[in-house]
A and B are shown apart, each in its own frame.
Chain A
């Protein structure tokens, strides 16, 4: 079945460091891929998405590229800020499917 695997956290970085959070997926066909962010005590917010191979999603300095050959959708940011501290979730959905599949989340803490 479909599934998403994320790198385990927690991840702690200094401000202005480079961020990579790995995400790989297992799916038949051509799913859409998403990154969500969750701040403490809140729901999930869509950060970026990509709907086909080689698409690059980007938002607020974050980027992720849909790599079908490696079944990956790694999240990157060139220079993190303290305000980026949150939990990040990778997710996928098949176009004709009922469900969304989420990774287990990666907690990021950025220290000044």
Chain B
């Protein structure tokens, strides 16, 4: 079955450490997205990518970085510059920019500070 796989499910970060969250999709979708979700809150867009080797900042990109070297993969790095990284991170994909089709989501990664 096609879908989005996020790993790991739980991740712990030490002070000053960078960590990378994995997101892989086999839906052949062009667009991929990263969101941050804090308890009791909605989704905030971190980065998105419409095509391989191209990505754009969302509303809260500071302290995060991404790459899009392959269509299937869109890893997110939470850098040490992100001072409050504890949150639930969701990866999503959609068919393409010029489409009214919905986003598909992974099961999320919960990041905590040690």
A residues adjacent to B (C-beta < 8 A): 31-32, 34, 36, 41-46, 49, 51, 89, 91, 93, 95-100, 102-105, 107
Range of interface residues on B (Cβ < 8 Å): 20 to 34
A102 to chain B, nearest CB (A): 5
Q: Contacting B102 at CB < 8 Å: which of A34, A95, A99?
A: A34
**Bound CA–CA A95/B99 (angstroms):** 5
**Bound CA–CA A49/B40 (angstroms):** 24
* Chain B residues whose C-beta falls within 8 Å of the C-beta of A98 in the assembled complex: 31, 48, 50, 56, 97
Judging by beta carbons under 8 Å apart, are A49 and B102 in contact? yes
Judging by beta carbons under 8 Å apart, are B42 and A95 in contact? no
Which residue of A is nearest B99, CB measured? A95
* Chain B residues whose C-beta falls within 8 Å of the C-beta of A95 in the assembled complex: 98-100
Which residue of A is nearest B33, CB measured? A100
Judging by beta carbons under 8 Å apart, are B97 and A96 in contact? yes
**Bound CA–CA A93/B110 (angstroms):** 27
B85 at the interface (CB under 8 A from A): no
* Chain B residues whose C-beta falls within 8 Å of the C-beta of A105 in the assembled complex: 41-42
Judging by beta carbons under 8 Å apart, are A103 and B100 in contact? no
**Bound CA–CA A91/B100 (angstroms):** 12
B103 to chain A, nearest CB (A): 6
Judging by beta carbons under 8 Å apart, are A99 and B45 in contact? yes
Judging by beta carbons under 8 Å apart, are A96 and B98 in contact? yes
* Chain B residues whose C-beta falls within 8 Å of the C-beta of A45 in the assembled complex: 105
Which residue of A is nearest B100, CB measured? A32
**Bound CA–CA A69/B102 (angstroms):** 23
**Bound CA–CA A8/B42 (angstroms):** 11
A3 to chain B, nearest CB (A): 11
Which residue of A is nearest B88, CB measured? A41
B107 at the interface (CB under 8 A from A): yes
B66 at the interface (CB under 8 A from A): no
